[in-house]
């Protein structure tokens, strides 16, 4: 084994791992954004909160 080749292999492995993590987090962000958009779209048409106990009663 050449001197430094072990360090090069470790750097390549770390780079590949970082790229895989970045891809995973990007996919996760897209999924959560889609879910968030879906929830917001459904709530736009609703005039009530999903938890009625949290609604503030108006007194006029």
Residues 7-60 pLDDT 10s? 899 999 999 999 999 999 999 999 999 999 888 888 766 655 555 555 555 555
Q: How many Å from the N-terminal Cα to the C-terminal Cα in the chain?
A: 83
pTM: 0.53
Task: Give the domain ranges of the chain.
Answer: 7-45
Q: Which residues of 32-46 are buried (b: 16+ CB within 10 A; e: fewer)?
A: eeeeeeeeeeeeeee
Are the C-beta atoms of residues 22 and 15 closer than 8 Å to each other? no
Are the C-beta atoms of residues 49 and 55 closer than 8 Å to each other? yes
């Amino acid at each position: 084994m050449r001197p430094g080749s072990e360090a090069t292999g470790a750097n390549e492995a770390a780079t590949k791992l970082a790229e895989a993590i970045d891809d995973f987090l990007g996919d996760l962000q897209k999924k959560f954004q889609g879910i968030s958009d879906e929830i917001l779209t459904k709530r736009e048409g609703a005039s009530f909160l999903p938890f009625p106990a949290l609604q503030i009663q108006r007194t006029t």
